[in-house]
Each structure stands twice: as C-alpha cells, then as structure tokens.
C-alpha cells in the first residue's frame, strides 16, 4: 500500500460522504452515521488485489455520464479504477439470470473486506450493470442504499411497479425487502452501501 493510494481512496470516501450529505432521502441518516464510524485513516488503508470483469467495458461510458453529475466524484472513481477488486455473487449465473448477465454485472467494495478500508459490519462500494439488463427480485438482511450515478435506471421495491429514477436519486431498501433493477440503453454505475448485517449475502426470490 502506498501513500498515494491511501490518499486517493480517502478522497473518494470523502467526496461520497459530502455528496450524500448534500442530499435528502430515506436511509441517508443511517448511512452517514455508520460511515462516520468507519476507520478511513491512512494506517487502516490496504491495497485490494485488483480484478477486472467484462462489465468494465461500460465504465468509460458511465464515467462520461458521472462527469455531468459530479465531476469531482467522476475523477475520484477514475483515479482508482485500476485498483478496484470487481466481484460477482457466487450464486448468480447466466443459467439462472439469463444469457450474458454475468458479462454485464459486477460490484466492487471501497469499504469492506475486499476494499481499501476494512469496515466494521459496513460495506460501501460501486455496482455496474450493463444496458438492457434485469437484476431480478432479491433480498438480504442488510439495509441498503443505492445512489445511481448514471441516468434512466428503473427500480422496484417490495414488488411494486418499476419506476425510473433520475441520476443522483436516493434509493433505500430496508432489511429483507425485495427489490429489483432494470437498465435501459444506458448502463448503470451506482454507489451502494450496506449499513449492518453484512455477513449474509443477497438471495434471489424463489421462482
């Protein structure tokens, strides 16, 4: 781990915190309180093992959208893009979710066991979903916030109809509430956060 990497990682967390603090919405108070409790000091920073996934083909397009929304946030993500460990849920497959899903899906932790800072029962990261994809109903014990950084994604909570959310919307999923996401022609890059009960992974709704 280098001093430079720690600075870049801490700057990203700081910009995310500032961006969320400037907004209003369900769950934000919980997210910001838990984020403030995390150790993001330089001594706590470590270098993840970088892993790339096929979905990153859409990252330049996503970052071009983020520049219009928050140039500083776009710059902070770009500065760390080669250091992120992109991952996929082990229970997800094309057989279950449709041909091509795994090439169009991935997430990376900023705070968490596979991120730059370890986190204390708290995860903060980035999600990517390629265009024209359906991430179907799933649930988990962790309360979750999504902050879509690209426009035109559609979201459903608790089995309700899908609703198109604007870039920068605050989307909150309480513990165990079913939720789903659909992308249109624009790929999705979103910030996500789990505030507690992070040890149990997401589960898809039974067919």
Residue 207 has pLDDT above 80, yes or no: no
Q: What is the pLDDT of residues 170-204, one digit of tens each?
A: 999 999 999 999 999 999 999 999 999 999 999 99
Does pTM surpass 0.85? Answer: yes
CATH number of 3-204: 2.60.120.10
Q: What is the pLDDT of residues 122-141, one digit of tens each?
A: 999 999 999 999 999 999 99
Residue 84 has pLDDT above 70, yes or no: yes
Within 13 A of 44's CA, how many CA atoms are on the CB side? 16
Structure-block tokens of residue 77: 């993500």
Q: How confident is the model at residue 79 (pLDDT cuts 50, 70, 90)?
A: very high
How far is residue 66 from each of residues 37, 41, 121, 126, measured CA to CA in Å? 27, 26, 28, 13
Per-domain residue ranges of the chain? 3-204
């Amino acid at each position: 781990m280098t001093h430079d990497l720690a600075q870049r990682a801490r700057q990203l967390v700081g910009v995310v915190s500032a961006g969320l603090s400037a907004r209003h919405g369900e769950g934000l108070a919980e997210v910001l309180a838990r984020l403030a409790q995390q150790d993001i000091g330089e001594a706590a920073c470590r270098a993840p093992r970088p892993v790339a996934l096929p979905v990153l083909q859409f990252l330049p397009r996503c970052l071009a959208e983020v520049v219009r929304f928050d140039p500083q946030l776009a710059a902070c993500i770009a500065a760390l893009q080669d250091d992120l460990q992109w991952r996929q849920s082990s229970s997800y497959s094309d057989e279950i979710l449709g041909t091509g899903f795994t090439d169009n899906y991935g997430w990376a932790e900023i705070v968490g066991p596979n991120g730059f800072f370890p986190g204390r029962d708290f995860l903060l990261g980035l999600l990517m979903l390629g265009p024209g994809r359906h991430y179907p109903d799933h649930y988990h014990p962790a309360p979750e916030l999504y902050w879509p950084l690209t426009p035109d994604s559609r979201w459903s909570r608790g089995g309700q109809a899908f609703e198109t959310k604007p870039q920068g919307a605050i989307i909150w999923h309480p513990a165990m509430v079913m939720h789903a996401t659909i992308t249109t022609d624009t790929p999705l890059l979103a910030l996500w956060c789990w505030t507690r009960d992070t040890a149990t992974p997401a589960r898809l709704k039974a067919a």
